[in-house]
């Protein structure tokens, strides 16, 4: 699969680099990652290449790489919280 075929966030990472930090872009990336981490779509989970995105963020510079890592951590924590809430009995 070519990089152009991957349903990933590289475009948003590039937008962050070129347009600077925007809460709208950060929020969009966060929401996409939470969705991905909850894995409601096995096809998406199978094609999502986080290692590729890590490399893209690194290539775009330390500021983008740091932002990418912080968004990933927050999204992972939120997915765990949501997943735990969904499995708890009333």
Can you tell me the distance from the alpha carbon of 88 to that of 83, in angstroms, rounded to the nearest whole number? 9
Q: How does pLDDT run across 46-89, given as a tens digit for each residue? A: 777 888 889 988 988 898 899 899 999 999 999 999 888 755 43
Q: What's the per-residue H, E or C state across the chain?
A: CCHHHCCCCHHHHHHHHHHCCCHHHHHHHHHHHHHHHHCCCHHHHHHCCHHHHHHHHHHCCHHHHHHHHHHHHHHHHHHHHHHHHHHCCC
Q: Is residue 1 part of a domain?
A: no
- 81 located within any domain: yes
The total domain count for the chain is: 1
Q: Note whether residue 73 is domain-resident.
A: yes
pTM: 0.73
42-55: per-residue pLDDT in tens?
777 677 788 888 99
Please report the pLDDT score of residue 83 as a whole number: 81
Asked whether the predicted pLDDT for residue 22 surpasses 70, the reply is no
Could you tell me the residue range of the domain that residue 77 belongs to? 10-87
Q: Is residue 3 part of a domain?
A: no
């Amino acid at each position: 699969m070519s990089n152009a075929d991957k349903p990933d966030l590289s475009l948003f990472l590039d937008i962050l680099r070129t347009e600077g930090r925007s809460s709208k872009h950060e929020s969009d990336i966060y929401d996409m990652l939470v969705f991905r981490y909850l894995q409601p779509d096995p096809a998406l989970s199978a094609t999502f290449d986080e290692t590729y995105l890590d490399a893209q963020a690194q290539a775009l510079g330390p500021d983008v790489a740091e932002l990418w890592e912080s968004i990933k951590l927050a999204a992972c924590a939120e997915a765990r919280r949501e997943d735990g809430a969904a499995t708890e009995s009333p």
